A and B are shown apart, each in its own frame.
Chain A
Amino acid sequence: MSDLPRPEKLFASIDYTPPKADWMDVPTVIKPGRYCYAANPDSVNYVGLPNAHKWNPLDEDWGLPENWQEIIFNGLRERLHKFRSFKIFMDICVRCGACADKCHFFIGSGDPKNMPVLRAELLRSVYRGEFTTFGKILGRFAGGRKLTASVLKEWWYYFFQCSECRRCSVFCPYGIDTAEVTIIGRELLNLLGLNIDWIATPVANCYRTGNHLGIQPHAFFDMIDFFCDDIEDITGIRPEPNFNQKGADILFVTPSGDVFADPGTYTCMGYLMLFEYLKREYGLSVTWSTYASEGGNFGFFTSHETMKRLNSKMYMEADRLGVKWILGGECGHMWRVIHQYMDTLNGPDFQSSRMETPVNPITGTVFKNAASTKMVHIAEFTADLIKHGKLNLNKKRNANVHLTWHDSCNPARGMGLLDEPRYVAKSVVEKFTEMPEGTIREQTFCCGGGAGLNAGENDELRMMGGLPRANAVKYVHEKYGVNMLGCVCAIDRAVLPNSMAYWVPEVSVCGLHELVANALVFPGEKERETDLRGEDLPGEDE
């Protein structure tokens, strides 16, 4: 965070008054700190995406193919036909501005092109200028413009300043989802090889090794083994997780962020402990997979096709191992994909007929809401266990935690997972306070690094985007003494610690199952002295 200004200074720089000149006349300057590095051509090549080449966003020449405009026009035409959402969103926006101040990137930067309506207008103006009769004849008068290289650069810059969180869509009277426009905008840019590296390389890694960091199976095993060591130190109980186990009942898939970076790792330890507990007490049979070791789907930020290719692994692996259903860990875009795309994309091709409507083998609860995808969210699973009194929990171990809940955008606005994690959280901590209305549930704010924007080089953008979330946390921190921000998303767990450190340094970030595991009492465990982070437990008698 070396070049990043102090929070007060960054905050003081926010100005919501747009420039005098018309937005089409305001040239886009690509600012360091607000953009991510260009995609490494090797990664683009690895998954066979078009026009892999070396380029630098700050250069004049982006190495576009000769016929780049034609490629975009064809791509655009094709997508107008393939996506009614896109076509409608191009046509019916009335520019009422209801979405304008709903985007965390606008709130935190004041850059008018970060107003969702204008972000979409960047593409819409070209659609009008090049595709509609009205716009072709009247041009700028009809709000149309030509597709030039600088327009393309503007697209690239602003489509990668949208975390596809869909908050704007909640407020639009027609449900216009700028995320959908951005997704397609990015697909078009991908036709020219113009991705960012923080997406392209994870995509290639996921494709090859099954997870976004490119962790090979033996290393994946080692990392989890290492967590088991830690767990043994803390609890005296050593989990014995299964890997690639044929004949297991349930396949567990979580984002690989949980395996790699703090504080996600504590959440990962939480899963391990929960499964071990359930295995010992009730004989639960669950397996991890090294092949399908990534839930998060970076293909989603590349193209629908790439999303499909990465997602296919989950069903293929479930089929190979012969499991009945799949349990999914705490992840944001993984769940958006599972909830809204997976069954459509890969259901008939890869889902084996041996899979069944998920049933919790311990409580007998049938997850009817997952009848077709056969994937259950771990918050649903654990909430069900707790409700049936299947877990022995001691809240007091989390007595030093005063929790507030961050609804991760994708599960909140893509599936409506709101009350399950709250129920679990309230069952394992003593102090829980909600952030103000308008900043939670469907109106929740993005962490600022979703949709592949969690790179190091775009620190300033992430801190600006993180402001609304942090600001609400700050409020409950100052007013009620909240010191922990819980969430169910691996990107959140990667981004929010930085943004908290920047805006509200007194608050830490955790996943849901870290708290569950802290509270979970194993029969025969040794007296715990620390929590999963190695911090002293609050005195039991306090």
Chain B
Amino acid sequence: MKALYSLFLVFALAAIALVGAGALGMEKAFGLYIPFLAVAVFVVGFCVRVVGWGKSAVPFCIPTTCGQQESLPWIKQSTIENPSTTGGVVMRMLFEVLLFRSLFRNTKVDLHEGTKVTYGSSKWLWLGALAFHYSFLTIVLRHMRFFTEPVPGLIAGIESLDALLQIGAPTLYLTDLVFVVAVTYLFLRRVVVPQVRYISLVQDYFPLFLILAIAFTGIFMRYFAKVDIISVKQLAMGLVTFSWNVPEGIGVLFYIHMFLVSVLLAYFPLSKLMHMGGVFLSPTRNMNCASRKFRHVNPWKFENVHYHTYEEYEDEFREKMVDKDLPVDKPLAEGAE
């Protein structure tokens, strides 16, 4: 049901662009104003969110330690999973952000005859997520050729690597393929695995469909509809150089693509997609694990509270303590006064 909502929503968005840029001829709006606004919302929104998190305090040092601590000299420390130096923390974060280390650990539980539970390794989600994120990144980088003149060597390099197989004309990008498969997998997983379906919200399906729709429109433009690339580049260059003009005859498909991308950008800071920024700020991963060695300072103060002091304690129990020859600070007679 939630998946259907989201699908419908994406269709509705595509329809808006179809009507707006097509029938109503609002090419300027869909080609320039909306994308520009979306980028602005994205950048400002992203910053607002990150700064918002940054404003919240990190009162305690609470990393999840996933390996042996720094301890006696002859005990081997797990310097990456339980880092006690900044270098170690950086390594830990790199593994996390670039290779999805924690997801790599994933297991799946199964019940068996008798009273047996087993845990099998389960790397599909890790693989799917990795494929998705890296192909997405490659695609974004590839698109930079529309916004740069001359195209930097790095981007051209990525592009030719991506087209390595030389299939068809225009040549098939491998990432397009991987991307669609990965997004489809992530979606199917949400509907097929009962527990994941149970926890999924509209906001979980919506970005998947949106991204898939963006991919499809993009692929369709490149391989089938063959949109006029030169005009697209003119438009894109116009956008970044602020010499706003809309070349004729790009075709409505492009505007749909562009509009969906704009929606994605504007939606980004409002949604869970912000995990992109949040992962760097997660205190359980980005803190040093040596909290007995170095004091961590809490920026806020506890309000004045009462502590139960030894004096109060002894006053209450002095007699009983003396009775057992336990040392006391004040002798019995004095305390009794």
A243 CA to B193 CA in the complex, in Å? 59
User: Within 8 Å of chain B (Cβ to Cβ): is A171?
Assistant: yes
Interface residues of A in 328-364 (CB under 8 A from B): 338-341, 343-345, 347
Which of chain A's residues have a CB closer than 8 A to the CB of B234? none
Which of chain A's residues have a CB closer than 8 A to the CB of B309? 316
The answer to whether A207 and B278 have CB atoms under 8 Å apart is no
User: Within 8 Å of chain A (Cβ to Cβ): is B290?
Assistant: yes
Most buried by B among A210, A416, A468: A416
A115 CA to B284 CA in the complex, in Å? 19
The answer to whether B55 and A48 have CB atoms under 8 Å apart is no
Most buried by B among A94, A117, A312: A94
The answer to whether A87 and B53 have CB atoms under 8 Å apart is yes
Which of chain A's residues have a CB closer than 8 A to the CB of B198? 18, 23, 112, 118
Interface residues of B in 48-87 (CB under 8 A from A): 49, 52-62, 64-72, 74-76, 78, 81-82, 84
Q: CB-nearest residue of chain A relative to B69? A: A416
CB distance from B130 to the nearest CB of A (A): 11
Most buried by A among B5, B55, B194, B291: B291
The answer to whether B81 and A442 have CB atoms under 8 Å apart is yes
User: Within 8 Å of chain A (Cβ to Cβ): is B302?
Assistant: yes
Q: CB-nearest residue of chain A relative to B277? A: A92
The answer to whether A169 and B284 have CB atoms under 8 Å apart is yes
Q: Which one of A30-38, A215-223, A256-264, A392-400 contacts B?
A: A215-223
User: Within 8 Å of chain A (Cβ to Cβ): is B242?
Assistant: no
Given A101-B195, A170-B102, A290-B326, are A344 and B60 also a contact pair (CB < 8 Å)? Answer: yes
User: Within 8 Å of chain A (Cβ to Cβ): is B107?
Assistant: yes
The answer to whether B64 and A372 have CB atoms under 8 Å apart is no
The answer to whether B321 and A246 have CB atoms under 8 Å apart is no
Q: SS class of chain A's interface: helix, strand, loop or mixed?
A: helix
User: Within 8 Å of chain B (Cβ to Cβ): is A415?
Assistant: yes
Q: Which one of B24-32, B112-120, B155-163, B172-180 contacts A?
A: B112-120
Q: CB-nearest residue of chain A relative to B296? A: A344
Given A85-B58, A95-B272, A180-B62, are A217 and B324 also a contact pair (CB < 8 Å)? Answer: yes
Which of chain A's residues have a CB closer than 8 A to the CB of B69? 369, 415-418
Given A245-B327, A343-B291, are A94 and B202 also a contact pair (CB < 8 Å)? Answer: no
Interface residues of A in 430-485 (CB under 8 A from B): 436, 438-439, 441-443, 467-468, 471, 474
Most buried by A among B52, B109, B116, B125: B109
CB distance from B293 to the nearest CB of A (A): 5
The answer to whether B56 and A81 have CB atoms under 8 Å apart is yes
Given A171-B105, A177-B62, A216-B317, are A244 and B326 also a contact pair (CB < 8 Å)? Answer: yes
Which of chain A's residues have a CB closer than 8 A to the CB of B305? 305, 308-309
User: Within 8 Å of chain A (Cβ to Cβ): is B258?
Assistant: no
User: Within 8 Å of chain B (Cβ to Cβ): is A370?
Assistant: yes
Q: Mark B279-294, 1 if CB is under 8 A from A, else 0.
A: 1011111000111111
The answer to whether B199 and A81 have CB atoms under 8 Å apart is no
The answer to whether A313 and B302 have CB atoms under 8 Å apart is no
Q: Which one of A266-274, A380-388, A489-497 contacts B?
A: A380-388
The answer to whether A380 and B56 have CB atoms under 8 Å apart is no
The answer to whether A419 and B68 have CB atoms under 8 Å apart is yes
The answer to whether B72 and A372 have CB atoms under 8 Å apart is no
The answer to whether A438 and B310 have CB atoms under 8 Å apart is no
Of the candidates A81, A222, A340, A436, the one whose C-beta lies within 8 Å of that of B324 is A222
User: Within 8 Å of chain B (Cβ to Cβ): is A371?
Assistant: yes
Q: CB-nearest residue of chain A relative to B55? A: A81
Most buried by A among B115, B270, B272, B324: B115
Interface residues of A (CB under 8 A from B): 7-8, 11, 14, 16-18, 23, 48, 80-88, 91-98, 100-102, 107, 112, 115, 117-118, 121, 134, 141-143, 166, 169-177, 180, 207-210, 216-218, 221-222, 243-246, 290-291, 304-305, 308-309, 312-313, 316-317, 320, 338-341, 343-345, 347, 365, 368-373, 375, 380, 383-384, 387, 412-420, 423, 436, 438-439, 441-443, 467-468, 471, 474, 503
A and B contact pairs by CB, cutoff 8 A, 24 listed: A23-B198, A82-B300, A88-B56, A92-B275, A112-B198, A169-B64, A175-B102, A176-B282, A217-B317, A217-B324, A316-B310, A339-B292, A344-B60, A369-B292, A373-B292, A416-B67, A416-B68, A416-B69, A417-B69, A418-B67, A442-B64, A442-B67, A467-B115, A468-B117
